[in-house]
Amino acid sequence: MKARPGPTTRVRIRELAGSGVRDRRDDLATEEPLEIRLIGAGGTRKTVAITMRTPGHDFELAAGFLCGEGLAGPEDIAAIAYCADEDLPPEARYNTVTVRLHGPVPDLPALDRHFLTSSACGVCGAAGLDALHDRCKPIPGGLLRLTPEVLYGLPGTLREAQGVFGKTGGLHAAGLFSATGTLLALREDVGRHNAVDKLVGWAALAERLPLAEHVLMVSGRASYEIMQKALAAGIPAVCAVSAPSSLAVDLAREFGMTLVGFLRGERCNVYAGQERVTV
């Protein structure tokens, strides 16, 4: 039987440096598929997503994905477990998660096509800002205020806490911070959207949603799907090391979110929600 996959995989490589060569071992970020299945109260079963992810925090990933896509909130989830269905080969057990719902499986158009996602692009077609208004409300101004000093400290704190990245150099990270810059939780994954799902799932299962006075910091760029997931979790501010996409900026402005990009050293660009950044 195949062993349960971990977040890193050790391989042998040949390293070239100048005129020198040596054989050694190296750690890679593990990439494995994860299937997310729903079971409704009446016994109805449906696969809603297959994503490529780094193993670890799989239940959080499932819960965060369902929350982010509007398929199920924490109050809808009765239990989450690795799947033991008879149709599943034993070696695939830890790559399939079953989420049991209190009620029926939601009858949504999205379920008719299922979600097939890669570790690179996330679920990009859940579609348009107009569709988001059907299930998400704009985020109120609230009490969150961020100083430039707090913003400048986020990337370094995030990087220092990336344990698996330190071994592999090949993972994205998402961190949840307080308004004073305290790191509350961090998740890593080969997929930047998966890292956010794991973080949102952690908050959902801990009954901490909505995250109305928190900041999301991501190690890559700010894409539409990351902003969508943050919005669903009620996160008012998203910061990224790299650039945002145009649709990410549109979403932030439409729903009253603060979006900060190119946050490196002591500089950044504020693309939306400037009123939350005190200068």
118: Cα separation from own chain's centroid: 13
Active-site residue, 67 included: no
266 assigned to a ligand binding site: yes
- 202 Cβ neighbours under 8 A, 6+ residues apart: 57, 60, 64, 185, 187
Q: Is the peptide bond before 106 cis (omega within 30 degrees of 0)?
A: no
Structure-token pair, residue 230: 């943050």
Largest CA distance in the chain: 66
113 assigned to a ligand binding site: no
264 assigned to a ligand binding site: yes
Pairing mode, strands 20-29 and 32-39 = unpaired
Number of H helices, E strands in the chain: 8, 13
Neighbours of 92 (CB within 10 A): 16
Site of tokens 């979110």: 257
Alpha helices in 79-211 (DSSP H): 109-113, 129-132, 148-160, 163-168, 192-205
276 assigned to a ligand binding site: no
Q: What b/e string do you get for 100-123 counting C-beta neighbours within 10 Å, with b at 16 or more?
A: ebeeebbeeebbeeebebebeebb
The secondary structure of 205-262 as a DSSP string is: HTT----TT-EEEESS-B-HHHHHHHHHTT--EEEESSPBPHHHHHHHHHTT-EEEEE
Q: Which of 67, 83, 121, 136 is catalytic?
A: 121
Measure the CA dihedral 140/147/173/120, to 10°. 60
265 assigned to a ligand binding site: yes
263 assigned to a ligand binding site: yes
Binding-site residue set = 262-267
Residue numbers annotated as active site? 121
